[in-house]
Structure 1
Amino acid sequence: MNTASKTQAVSNPNRRLISLSSLLPWAFAALFLLCLPLVFQSSAALTIMNQMAITIVFALSYNMLLGQGGMLSFGHAVYMGLGGFFAMHVMNMVEYDGLWLPLPLLPVVGGLFGMTFAFLIGSFSTRRAGTVFAMISLGVGELIAACSIIIVVFFGGEEGISGDRTMGPEVLGYDFAAQSEVYYLTVIWLLVATVLMYLFSRTPIGRIANAVRDNEERAEFLGYSQRHVRWMSFIASGFFAGVAGSLFAINFEILTEENLNLATSGSILLITFLGGVGFFVGPIIGAIVFTLLQTVLGLYTEIWALYLGILFVSCVMFFPGGFAGIIAMHRRPLALGKLNLLVGPYLKVAIPAITSVLSLAAVLEISFHKRHSFGDDHEMSLYGITFDSHGYQALGFAIVIAAISLFLVSRILPSIKAAWDEANHAGDAQ
């Protein structure tokens, strides 16, 4: 008895220590998000950060299907869109019918509506995985997208449906008219949804979903119904997608057919792969990168989608684990104490690599401007330099710089590979 008591007394402090240390990243993330408006105070910056937070929730909900359950869906935007449209109708009921509902509770309503449709659609779509599930999701997505134009009462037709978030009861004196108030509401829901999805991935059903993803026959042999496991993950994913749709309705106060069509479903698939499928932080990284490319880069170039496509193809070909996978690759050198061996080669290749990217972008920008400029509009400004895009000097110079920088990168790559092999070798630490 005494020995057991001593053992428990010794083990409990360790467990509390582990619990506290695991909370530190969450506390840091919450503090970071809450302090961001103190740095970026403009309305445009707050709007971009709101869009980023919504995309993170949406991407994490999709990762519950693809990353954790191995279900490739081409129609996940359906549940975000349905949750958003229903939330918008509830918002209008608050305004016109006197329904009492504080705005911070609206994401729960949209989430439950998205979960309801996920329950119904998942009852037959999750019977099979792989290509069958993907094709069913594609068909459902196209069906709902068509219904959004036909069923005008619910979807509002081609013009969509709009509402006013400020007409509900005030919460602690806030009516959510200011963009900063909406930001804090979105961030709170981002933290809540992220924590809940993380905890779901650590539950038995979340662990079994990983087993079903890796080997569904073995999971069946152990007594778990792979169909019910996928169905439960599908339902949970639909709820959080509906939450993301409700946050979109709150932020932008309008929803259209674009919120649930195939293009939106394809975008979230791209975001998840870009960040890293199978990593919990992968969709977060992918959502941040995608939003920055779409909003910030979109302000400077009309062909931002081309750069995004090139980045996606390059990532899939050379780094299938996405950005999160690249970070995870360096855990072993870090554990071996040899991460310093990679710093020099990385810095050495950084300048020619960045130069090659900028010069190749210049080739694309000059070619695009030359092809789509009107009349005598030959003048073009790029990287702070103004020149004639229709002449061959600028284009030729960009091609030469790109060729030289790519050649330098190719010469440095063998040294990077040698340093990488040495850093991953479990010998004496440097």
Structure 2
Amino acid sequence: MARTVVWSLYALLLALAPMIFTSSLSQTLLCQMGIAIIVCLSYNMLLGQGGMLSFGHAVYSGMGAFLAIHTLNRVSDGLALPVSLIPLVGGFASLALAGVLGWITTKKAATPFAMITLGMGELVWAMALMFPGFFGGEAGVSGNRVAGSPVFGISFGPQIELYYLIAAYTFVCTALMYAFTRTPLGRMLNAVRDNPERVAFVGYNPQMVRYLAFVIAAFFAGISGGLAALNFEIVTSEVLSGHRSGAYLLFTFLGGTTFFFGPIIGAILMVLAFVLLSGLTQAWLLYLGLIFIVMVMVAPGGVASLIMANLRLARHGFSRRLWVSYLALWLTGLLSLAGAAALLEMVYHLQLDAALGPELSFIGITLNVKGFDSWIGSGLVMLTGLGLFALCRRQFVQDIKLPEAS
């Protein structure tokens, strides 16, 4: 019953999101979030469920995008194929590619597997520049998603029409990947992750289990690539790069690999970081790196683990006793973050924007990179926030343990 409610709420959220966030920017972000959810969930099939650290997952989402954009151009030339089915072309193309490359890649596990995927990723990315006839060179391959005959009056020209196509694929793919975790193959994949020797002892081939999971994950990654091709109407070699694979790894981990919904959170964070955070500051990659380090040290289970831990506290009646501590942690954390961010922004301004003058605006406050008061003040704010955060965190832990002791 609870599972039905969760899936119903998920479908309702996908359906109502563009009605709540009505601006064109919001619809663009929602489309990208749906695409990112599929690819991050597919990546977690490897990392979270199978223990396979891949540095080349972008190969399969990228090749799906390239096959989809070429198919879209064939539809424009008269091929009788609905545009709504083009993402499936990308999915099956990536599945076929993974069927070839995956057999070699999955012969090893752990660190050798990661190194092989890195090599495969660099190999395919280099080939994208060697064969401009297919990959389009540095300019990439462009297309027009308003192709073929409209189905029920839907041409996918307006962004809202494309959003609902992406939302439908997102819901179906999410449901299928969740169902995979409940299949014997999904359970065996968990066993291969935890103890491959025992799996081999009971008669299963760990390499075959990894291979099948690898191919299935590539299929869903190809679907996300096909949706991205329809969304952006252009595909470049960047979609095959190691940078893209690293982004999948980073944000899937930040969301939480031990929970099924963790990559969904990570996908949302990835779009917000790439689209919004990158537009707010030049130091956005540095912020991401710092956040990743902090999460690894403080919450290696990702954001999902923090959510589940706090839900357990709420289930045992701790929320009413801890709301003051929660508020104090948030305020002191934001205070220390503001001080650290002010220092970073001044450093970037001094190095990159010195020609614009010594002053910059930061959250409504004017800072002077040549004035000691701005540097000292920002440092004091950061240190004060860190000190208060440590005290509040210690009190928070004591408040949790106290009822248990009593």
Pick the TM interval, shorter chain: over 0.9
Matching residue's letter, 1:119: G
1:344–1:387 CA distance, 2 compared to 1 (3 A): closer
Pick closer, same or farther for the CA change 1:382–1:226 going to 2, 3 Å.
same
* Pair 1:255 & 2:227 matched: no
The aligned counterpart of 2:391 is 411
How far, CA to CA, are the matches of 2:111 and 2:386 in structure 1? Answer: 39
Structure 1 residue matching 2:360: 3-state secondary structure: strand
Q: 2:347 matched to 1:328?
A: no
Q: Distance in 2 between the 1:195 and 1:325 partners?
A: 21
Aligned residue in 2 for 1:34: 15
Deviations 1:370-397 (Å, cap 9, x if unpaired)?
2222435223111112343322222221
Alignment CA distance shift 1:35-1:392 (3 Å): same
Q: 1:321-340: CA deviations, max 9, x gaps?
A: 00011122235434433343
Amino acid aligned to 1:85: F
**SS class of match (2:366):** strand
Residue 286 of structure 1 is matched in structure 2 by 266
* TM-score, normalised by the number of residues in structure 1: 0.91
The C-alpha deviation readout for 1:39-84, integer Å capped at 9, x for no partner, is 2222222111111111111100000001111111110000000011
1:422 Cα deviation after fit: 3.9
Checking the alignment, whether the CA contact within 8 Å between 2:140 and 2:237 is kept in structure 1 is: yes
The answer to whether the aligner puts 1:358 opposite 2:338 as a matched pair is yes
**Partners of 1:294 and 1:305 within 8 A in 2:** no
Higher Rg: 1
1:88-99 equivalences in 2 (<5 Å): 88-96=69-77, 98-99=78-79
Cα RMSD, aligned residues only: 1.5
- Is residue 190 of structure 2 the alignment partner of residue 210 of structure 1? yes
For 2:242 and 2:29, locate their aligned partners in 1 and report how far apart those are by CA, in whole Å: 23
Structure 2 match to 1:219: 199
Please give the per-residue CA displacement for 1:327-364, whole angstroms capped at 9, x wherever unaligned. 22235434433343332322222211111111111111
Deviates more, 1:236-245 or 1:124-133: 124-133
Deviations 1:95-137 (A, max 9, x none): 12x1011111111111000011111111121122111111111
Partner of 1:100: 80
How many equivalent pairs are there? 406
Aligned-pair distance for 1:275? 0.6
Offset of 1:402 from its aligned partner?
Answer: 1.3
Contact 2:58/2:245 (<8 A) preserved = yes
Shift of 1:186: 0.8
Aligned to 1:311: 291
Do structure 1's residue 64 and structure 2's residue 45 form an aligned pair? yes
Q: Quick one: distance in 1 between partners of 2:147 and 2:387?
A: 61
Residue 158 of structure 1: SS of its match in structure 2?
coil
- Matches of 2:326 and 2:366, distance apart in 1: 32
Of 141-150 and 341-350, deviating more is 341-350
Q: Name the structure 1 match of 2:379.
A: 399
Measured in 2, the distance between the counterparts of 1:218 and 1:331 equals 35
1:232 corresponds to which of 194, 199, 212: 212
Matches within 5 A, 1:137-216: 137-216=117-196
Secondary structure, aligned partner of 1:72:
coil
Q: Which residue of 2 aligns with 1:51?
A: 32
Q: Does the 8 Å CA contact 2:282/2:348 hold for their aligned counterparts?
A: no
The amino acid of 2:349's aligned partner reads: H
The alpha-carbon distance between structure 1 residues 375 and 296, as it changes in their structure 2 partners (threshold 3 A), is: closer
Partner of residue 317 from structure 2, selected from 312, 316, 337: 337
**2:257 corresponds to:** 277
Residues of 1 paired with 2:312 and 2:159: CA distance? 43
* Partner of residue 14, structure 1: none
Does the CA-based 8 Å contact 2:94-2:222 persist in structure 1?
yes
SS of equivalent to 2:151: coil
Match of 2:68 in 1: 87
Q: Check conservation: 1:57, 1:244, Cα contact below 8 A.
A: yes
Distance 1:383-1:193 versus aligned 2 partners, 3 A rule? same
Q: What TM-score does the superposition give when structure 2 sets the normalisation length?
A: 0.96
Stretches of 4+ aligned residues off by more than 4 angstroms: none
- In structure 2, distance between residues paired with 1:245 and 1:223: 36
Q: Name structure 1 gaps, 5 residues minimum.
A: 1-17
**1:153 and 1:372 mapped to 2: Cα distance?**
38
Q: Secondary structure at the match of 2:361?
A: strand
Letter in 2 for 1:41: T
1:346 to 319, 323, 326: 326
| Secondary structure of the structure 1 residue equivalent to 2:55 | coil
Moved more, 140-149 or 341-350: 341-350
Report the AA paired with residue 107 of structure 2.
R
Q: State the match for 2:90 in structure 1.
A: 110
Task: Report how far residue 223 of structure 1 moved.
Answer: 1.7
Could you tell me the percent identity over the aligned residues? Answer: 43
> 1:296, 1:369 → 2: CA distance?
19
